[in-house]
A and B are shown apart, each in its own frame.
Chain A
Amino acid sequence: MITVNALTRRYSHTVAVDQISFTVEKGQIVGFLGPNGAGKTTTMRMLTCFLPPTSGTAQVAGYDILEQSLQVRKRIGYLPETPPLYTDMETAEYLRFAGRLKGMSGQELDRRIEYVLGRCSVADVRNKLLGKLSKGYRQRVGLAAAILHNPDVLILDEPTAGLDPKQINETRDLIKDLAGEHTIILSTHILPEVEQTCQQVVIINKGKLVATDSVANLQSRARGVETTILEIAPAGGGLLDDRMPPVPRISGPGKPQTSVLDIDRIQRTLTQVPGVSRILLREQRDNSAIFETESPRGALVRGDLARAVIAAGWDLNELRPGAMSLEEIFLRLTGGDVAQPQLVPPPAAPEEPEAHQEPNA
């Protein structure tokens, strides 16, 4: 239904969208994910024929966005980032205008207006000036206008931005209902939204495509590996010191740390537990250390891990499953720092006296 082919958009200095390609099957809902400034809006503007690409092209609803722009525009419903409302029009009047622009008229238009007024819960403001509506209502009127002509493809730029929780749910349900006969691309920052509504995810970052996969695949990638978080302390002693305010003294894995705990020995012990494939030291405190182990899904390693720790004579302060959420995947893919131990910079060395600097430095 949508085929994007090396789509590129350059502004004077920045490359907003860089060689993006992906396809969307008919009836699918695609979540378009990316941090601020990733190029989501720019991509959507190109797909809706608002902006021409610098290079590359795309087919939407079977037509080329460059060569058959009018055909494409007939078949898309677009909700821009800011709903394009005329503040001096009333809701119903605006929908009528939008419908006529899309080529609708007569009874069919009347019927569809009534339908979307109800569907997007804006019937109560039908005779209100759009300029006087609240942000959430504007968003919903914008959505109503986008679905008015029952388009094959819906392109929604952050459709739930500014809505209250109840409306967010209703809008998600509406979007889910619309899928099937419609193909939908929606952009969002809200990850649970993608998990709940979308079948496919396209993740972009700084204009580049980072990943495109089905939500199910990404989730199983997230859950195929089970992680377990353990906090281990030396017998007895660790607990006593826990009452003291925690002093963050953390180091990278390579840096040996003087501690009551023998980190290497713990790692060796835990690796021997059947099923554990990888061990990570996540955090080292004065008298305890937090480890993360990875094991195949369903390997049931927790009991063995606990027994191994106790048998070696340590205390097990905490043992819990650590799930890798879609959020973590997203942040990892887009280069955000997730739950990785923050390295505390070593105390700054005393400044070299000025005289020691090279004269022409």
Chain B
Amino acid sequence: MKNIWIIFSKEMKSYFASPIAWLLLTLFAVVFGYFFWTALEFFTTMSMEIQMSGQAYPINVNEQVIRPLLGNVSVLGLFFIPLITMRLFAEEKRTGTIELLATSPVRDVEIILGKWLAALGLYACMLFFTAINFAFLFHYGKPDWKPLLVGYLGLLLQAGGLLALGTFISTLTRNQIIAGAATFAVCLLLFVFAWVSGFNSATWATVLAYFSVATHDESFARGVLDLKDSIYYLSVIFLGLFFTARSMEALRWRS
């Protein structure tokens, strides 16, 4: 437990000591800010038009602003997750610092958890910046905060799974760029698998869509804490970390 903390804080420090973390946070905040304010503007014009036409059309901030925005965050994550995880092991292998970690009295699983939690921590910081935008909504309107919280939990779980896969891919190479590109490709595939069910209803398409990370975030975005979807994400996290552990073991055998 203490060792996980040691690794975690070292990783956090190195994220924030370099420009990486700040750059990622700024980019994420700017892009999301753009999404947010355009969505809000769209919503206000919409609701104004509806009011003028005098129709009793149900308008709902949660449904019409928050939900699509959370979807946007998860797509944004696709681009940022590889940037967060690519250095985790690749860099240690390239510089040889892995020799310090692997010959210290620390278990592999503690190293892996420390690193993965740090990656998740950085992602959580990025989510925090998006949350500031939502704070404006609470100031002006009366959205329901519980679905928002569930939505964020979903984002965190989804990112946790992809970050675990990214951590695994980072153990496979000593080149950060390769790790990043491969992680991006894997994340993208896991996203677009969801699309096949849109134009194909064969069994394989359904199965493929089931394995997509994008199929499982709808319940969270609607504010529903779905057990099956939670289990799906937890399994992705577990599998990613499990593969990382296997790979670290193999690393010793190969290197």
Contact = CB atoms under 8 A, between A and B. Distances in A.
A34 to B, nearest CB: 20
A80 B100 CA distance: 8
A86 B97 contact: yes
Given A50-B252, A51-B255, A78-B99, A88 B17 contact: yes
Contacts of B253: 51-52
Nearest to A52: B252
Interface string B9-39: 0100010011000000000000000000000
Interface string B139-155: 00000000000000000
A78 B98 CA distance: 12
B10 A97 contact: yes
Nearest to B111: A101
Contacts of B99: 45, 50, 78, 80, 84
A82 interface: yes
Given A84-B97, A84-B99, A73 B105 contact: yes
B100 A84 contact: yes
B105 A97 contact: no
Residue with the greatest number of chain B CB neighbours at <10 A, chosen from A48, A76, A82, A97? A97
Contacts of A50: 99, 102-103, 252
Interface residues of B, number: 22
B75 interface: no
Contacts of B96: 80, 82-84
A84 B104 CA distance: 12
A165 B6 CA distance: 37
B107 A70 contact: yes
Contacts of B10: 86, 97
A73 B105 CA distance: 5
B18 A101 contact: no
A102 interface: yes
Contacts of A84: 95-100
B18 to A, nearest CB: 6
Interface in B67-114: 95-107
Contacts of A103: 105
Interface residues on A, range: 20 to 34
A128 interface: no
Contact of B103 (A49, A71, A83, A88): A49
A88 B252 CA distance: 25
Given A73-B105, A87-B95, A103-B105, A98 B100 contact: yes
Contacts of B97: 84-86
Interface string B239-255: 00000000000001101
B252 A51 contact: yes
A60 B41 CA distance: 69
Residue with the greatest number of chain A CB neighbours at <10 A, chosen from B18, B101, B104, B255? B104
A87 B101 CA distance: 15
B3 interface: yes
Residue with the greatest number of chain A CB neighbours at <10 A, chosen from B98, B101, B105, B253? B105
A113 interface: no
B255 A101 contact: no
Nearest to B249: A52
A88 B14 contact: yes
Interface in A81-137: 82-89, 97-98, 100-103
A38 interface: no
Contacts of B107: 70
A353 to B, nearest CB: 54
Nearest to B17: A88
Interface in B30-70: none
Given A86-B14, A88-B18, A145 B103 contact: no
A101 B252 contact: no
A103 B253 CA distance: 26
Contacts of A83: 96
Contacts of A76: 103
Nearest to A77: B103
Nearest to B10: A97
A97 B6 CA distance: 8
Contacts of A80: 96, 99-100
27 contacts: A49-B102, A49-B103, A50-B103, A50-B252, A51-B255, A73-B103, A80-B96, A80-B99, A80-B100, A84-B97, A84-B98, A84-B100, A86-B10, A86-B95, A87-B95, A88-B17, A88-B18, A97-B6, A97-B10, A98-B100, A98-B104, A100-B6, A101-B6, A101-B100, A101-B105, A103-B105, A145-B100
Interface of A: 45, 48-52, 70-71, 73-74, 76, 78, 80, 82-89, 97-98, 100-103, 145
- What are the 4 A-B residue pairs with the smallest beta carbon separation, nearest first? A84-B100, A101-B104, A74-B105, A84-B97
